[in-house]
């Protein structure tokens, strides 16, 4: 028997689509129904085999599903949960893939009148700057981490099922406290995206932007790749992980002020110390 008999994927893009493809490739899902607003994207998902059925109605789509994956922008979580709450099977497992967990939990709890026992908040730490069904591929999660943030109300059986699904997709699964997750991801994912978006936008607004981008080399391309990410998704992440992101930005601003002061003062020793410390940390991370 497959890990999931009938999977309902609400939001058929890179993240949810890649999970469905991985389960299909492993023979661990019976059928997949995809839910979305865009007809063209759903048609593409059908064409490339991510989903077997398409729907624009979350309520009817979740009926009969034994696992529902919310792969929508964080800000849409509550609205979708309100639509599906009276249509989920009693034993259906509900999980999500959002980059923010605290606010997602709050939205789900508000929609259901409490945290459902079969709800398992999750976050795959994987992705590319591409979006939509056409960006999905089955090996996205190979050797990548997935963080699950189970709650006191979460049934162990639901947690085990979600863990198994991600492991089938090739991921290394870890569990983490909700608040700690949001603080860590603000520093390691959300802040870097703000730097990339901010830098590219700043340069694009300069009068000499054409020349700047013409002569930008590989380092600029590598650093700013993530500025091609989905603006709606990142808008929601900023709004729904606001305090943790502001804390990370404030700390970074202090450290950038230190770097700027060293440059202004011609302080070679401090510059060498900062760069050497950063190089050692990056080299250790990249091993």
Quote the tokens at residue 136: 């999905």
pLDDT at 262 over 80: yes
One-character DSSP codes across 2-42: -SEEEEEEES-SHHHHHHHHHHHHTT-EEEEEEE-S-HHHH
pLDDT 10s digits, 193-228: 999 999 999 999 999 999 999 988 889 999 999 999
Spell out the residues 6+ positions from residue 186 whose beta carbon is closer than 8 angstroms to its own. Answer: 241, 244, 245, 247, 248
Share of the chain above pLDDT 70, in %: 100
**Residue ranges of domains in the chain:** 4-176, 180-285
pTM of the predicted model, to two decimals?
A: 0.87
Nearest residue to 32 via CA among 72, 59, 64, 1 = 64
CATH code of 180-285, in short, is 1.10.3660.10
Distance CA 233, CA 99 (A): 9
Best CATH choice for the domain 4-176 from the list 3.40.50.720, 3.40.1350.10, 3.40.50.620, 2.60.40.420: 3.40.50.720
């Amino acid at each position: 028997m497959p890990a999931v008999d009938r999977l309902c994927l609400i939001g058929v893009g890179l993240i949810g689509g890649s999970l469905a493809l991985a389960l299909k490739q492993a023979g661990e899902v019976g059928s997949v129904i995809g839910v979305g607003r865009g007809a063209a994207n759903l048609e593409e998902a059908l064409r490339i085999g991510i989903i077997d059925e398409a729907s624009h109605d979350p309520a009817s789509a979740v009926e009969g599903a034994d696992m529902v994956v919310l792969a929508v922008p964080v800000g849409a979580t509550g609205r979708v949960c309100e639509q599906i709450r009276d249509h989920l099977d009693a034993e259906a497992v509900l999980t999500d893939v959002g980059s923010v967990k605290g606010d997602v939990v709050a939205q789900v709890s508000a929609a259901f009148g409490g945290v459902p026992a079969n709800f398992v908040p999750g976050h795959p730490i994987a992705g590319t700057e591409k979006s939509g069904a056409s960006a999905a591929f089955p090996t996205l999660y190979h050797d990548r981490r997935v963080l699950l943030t189970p709650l006191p109300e979460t049934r162990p059986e639901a947690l085990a099922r979600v863990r198994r699904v991600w492991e089938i997709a090739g991921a290394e699964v870890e569990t983490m406290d909700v608040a700690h997750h949001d603080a860590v991801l603000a520093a390691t994912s959300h802040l870097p995206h703000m730097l990339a978006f901010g830098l590219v936008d700043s340069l694009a607004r300069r009068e000499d932007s054409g020349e700047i981008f013409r002569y930008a080399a590989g380092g600029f391309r590598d650093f700013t790749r993530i500025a091609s990410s989905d603006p709606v998704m990142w808008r929601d992440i900023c709004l729904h992980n606001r305090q943790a992101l502001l804390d990370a930005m404030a700390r970074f601003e202090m450290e950038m002020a230190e770097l700027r002061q060293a440059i202004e003062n011609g302080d070679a020793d401090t510059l060498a110390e900062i760069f050497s410390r950063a190089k050692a940390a990056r080299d250790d991370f990249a091993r």
